[in-house]
Amino acid sequence: MNMIKWIWTGLLLSALPALAADDVPLQQSNPLGHQTLSAPDYLHFVPCPEPLTGNFVPAYTGTSELFLKGVLGKLAQIHPGAAWGREFQWQCSAGVLAMMLGGEADLAVSSIPMTSAQREDFTRRFGYPVLEARVALDAVQVLVHPDNPLDRLTVPQLDAIYGTELRAGALRPVRTWDEAGAAGWGAGRPIHACSGPEYYGTSKFFQEAVLGDGPWREDLRTLGEIQIPESEIAADPLAIMFSNYRPRDSRVKVLAIARQTDEPAYPPLPAHIYGEEYPLVRFFHVYVNAPSVADLPPETREFLNYLLSFEGQTEVAKTGSLPLDRAMLLRARKRLGL
């Protein structure tokens, strides 16, 4: 199982060479992340003065592992006497949250937030509420071929394209491009709905945010673990695909998305992503099992202090995910008592 895990992680990282490599300027690999981190007075990391010698074993998801690897690597350089995640727990978000509820993890990073019921369960079990904060974010883009005349879709339309139960309020399934609004060009032309593996955090987020956690259409084209949306869509003008926020080239068109039919559609641009106007924004969350951060081992406090700093958020940005803006960062630190 560990061998499979590390092979899969290596494949994921190899698919993001320009984003994960230290020798590629952040301004080039993640312009929005670079812009966010360039804000005046963005908080920098100040290491604790005492030597650290304990163990830090987080629970985390596959997506968050991409930036945790960089964070823990830098912490190992700053505090070489501590063991930084040498016994990783590898779980999907649902598994990570189950570990928190079961008391198996002191700290977890998840791309899916705890539900109200899970928070209540946690409080009943441990006698105090779970500490939680946002630590990074991502915007899920909806991509089509540049020949497609559509510039926008609504969440109900996306549900009608990808789902079967119309939980977002559409009146009927949408299976052809003219039904989606591309009259003329799309007349009778089928929509080829594509996604990454259904167990991916991005797919789970899209299923919950758009389909209301309903089932996928039976003919969903599920692509392999390594996919390049530009290549997939360039090869199929009738395709539609959702994927994590990345700079895109001319082989795809990025659609604006509206929450409802009569609401404005927003493209995934900085003001709309950080203003949470763009509907398909997801956050990565940290959950801490302690009455306060002061009750945690010093290694765990140092991890949180680093992750929620310019240096830690730079590691987030290197993988293509989006760092917190300054206001979000300060709120997150306040929620954790840092």
User: Do 63 and 158 reside in the same domain of the chain?
Assistant: no
Which residues span the domain enclosing 181?
139-274
pLDDT band of 6, cuts 50, 70, 90: very low
Answer whether residue 195 shows pLDDT above 50. yes
Same domain, 168 and 213: yes
Q: Do 144 and 260 fall into the same domain?
A: yes
Does 258 share its domain with 326?
A: no
Residues 307 and 260 in one domain: no
Per the prediction, the chain carries an average pLDDT of 87
Helices (H) and strands (E) in the chain, counts: 14, 13
Question: Is there a single domain that holds both residue 82 and residue 195?
Answer: no
Report how far residue 244's alpha carbon sits from residue 235's, in angstroms, rounded to the nearest whole number: 20
CATH of the domain at 193: 3.40.190.10
Q: Which pLDDT value is given to residue 90?
A: 67
pLDDT score of 228: 81
104 against 263, higher pLDDT: 263
Q: Residue 136's beta-bridge partner residues?
A: 284
Domain final position from 248, 274, 300: 274
The stretch 316-320 carries a mean pLDDT of: 89
Distance separating alpha carbons of residues 278 and 128, to the nearest angstrom: 34
Give the CA-trace dihedral at 86, 91, 95, 97, to 10 degrees. 60
Higher pLDDT, 217 or 27: 217
Neighbours of 271 (CB within 10 A): 10
The reply to whether 161 and 94 lie within a common domain is: no
Q: How far apart are CA 70 and CA 93, in angstroms?
A: 20
- CA dist 20 and 11 (Å) reads 12
Query: Is 279 within a domain?
Result: no
Q: How confident is the model at residue 3 (pLDDT cuts 50, 70, 90)?
A: very low
181 found inside a domain = yes
Does residue 262 share a domain with residue 228?
A: yes
Over the stretch 130-169, which tens digit does the pLDDT of each residue have? 999 999 998 999 999 999 999 999 999 999 999 999 999 9
How far from 30 is each of 22, 89, 246, 316, CA to CA, in Å?
Answer: 12, 28, 7, 10
Is 131 strand, coil or helix?
A: strand
pLDDT at 27 over 50: yes
The helix/strand/coil state of 251 is: coil
Cross-strand pairs, 115: none
Report if residue 238 sits inside a domain: yes
| 261 and 155 inside one domain | yes
pTM: predicted TM-score of the whole model, two decimal places: 0.79
Instruction: Report if residue 283 sits inside a domain.
Output: no
pLDDT digits (tens, 9 = 90+) for 89-140: 666 777 888 888 888 888 899 888 888 999 999 999 999 999 999 999 989 9
> Could you tell me if 207 and 225 lie in one domain?
yes
Same domain, 64 and 93: yes
Element (H, E) at 160: helix 155-162
pLDDT for the residue numbered 143? 97
